[in-house]
Amino acid sequence: MLQLADMRLWSGRIDREDGKAGRRWHQDIVPLHLDSPPGFAILGFASDEGVRRNKGRIGAAKGPRILRLALANLPKTFRAPLYDAGNVRVEKEDLESAQAMLGARITELMAAGHFPMVLGGGHEIAYGSYQGIARWMREQHRDKTLGIINFDAHLDIRLPAPKGSSGTPFYQIAEQCDLNGRPFHYLCVGAAATANTPALYQRAEELGAQVISDREIVPWRIELVQKQIADFIDRVDFVYLTVDLDVFPAAIMPAVSAPAGRGVAFELFEPLLDTVLESKKVCLADIAEFNPYFDIEDHAARTAARVIFQIANGIKG
């Protein structure tokens, strides 16, 4: 179900004495309309059906609401218009219809020149996001290639058994690529050996996926990891960026379906994200697995908001 933007969520501090330089997101964001000039469009995916199917901790459906509250007071430091495009919500466990609706909405936004920033929701968001990008590319960029960069402790290439879940999206995407004769370019950054079985690593190899483990992301190797990411981006025309918040240590990101025992330090994640954004190839980004029920005084929400802030400024700054 498609829900209109709830602009009551966008409120916060106002520093009138600082003029335009003191403005915050809640002061500039407006509901998206058909004739809105191209800008940075926030779209929610209120779903934890995929997490439920994957036997995870329920609660991610509330993520888009709480993330908007966390974004409201951010300083507005980029020039592009800022929009709220509402939510797509899963109804009666019908995840597949919601993913298709999310994809259709994303295609509309991209065709109109907007950059969609999609707020989850479980990582089942990825299959809906991909559907939107794939349709946009078929309609406007048929000869171009897409690369998927997933910051995640999990590979998320489980076999649907029998339905898709938060653990299956990239396998489902690989299937669609195969059916349509398209290459599957997938890089998972931050994968944890404790969170993925040998079967999943074997499947990643069979699918031609690239994996950078969490143990490789340490200060003395950061430039090498940046080069690995840059080399991957060089081989594609567009990048779909997806950030599963369980890539971070549980100490700073407890509010996810499956908290990480180690994770990637935030101060190392930021330069890696910059490497992706500086390519200017990112066409869509989403945030997955935020579960506000397990947050502690909004610490995790603020961390997620900082990631979105970095993406917004990297894309539209």
Cβ–Cβ under 8 Å, residues 213 and 204: no
Q: Say if residue 84 carries a ligand binding annotation.
A: no
26 annotated to a ligand binding site:
no
Q: Are 125 and 118 in contact (CB under 8 A)?
A: yes
Encoded amino acid at 285, one letter = A
CB 132 within 8 A of CB 116: yes
Q: Is 121 exposed, middle or buried (0-12, 13-18, 19+ CB in 10 A)?
A: buried
Token digits of residue 270: 């930021």
298 labelled as ligand-binding? no
Helices within the chain (DSSP H only): 25-28, 49-53, 63-71, 95-111, 125-140, 169-179, 198-207, 222-234, 266-277, 299-316
Ligand-binding annotation for 48, yes or no, is: no
Name the residue among 156, 160, 163 with its Cα closest to residue 204: 156
Report CA torsion sign: 51, 287, 30, 106: negative
- Listed in sequence order, the residues at least 6 apart from 67 whose beta carbon sits closer than 8 Å to its beta carbon are 44, 119, 287, 290, 301, 304, 305, 308
User: Is 246 flagged in the annotation as binding?
Assistant: yes
Tokens, residue 3: 């829900």
CA angle (4, 5, 9) in 5-degree steps: 145
Got the DSSP string for 173-224?
HHHHHHHTT---EEEEEEE-GGGS-HHHHHHHHHHT-EEEEGGG-SGGGHHH
Q: Is 231 annotated as a binding residue?
A: no
Q: Are 275 and 232 in contact (CB under 8 A)?
A: no
Among 203, 205, 124, 188, smallest CA distance to 153 is for 188
The binding site comprises: 123, 152, 154, 156, 244, 246
The binding site for Mn(2+) comprises: 123, 152, 154, 156, 244, 246
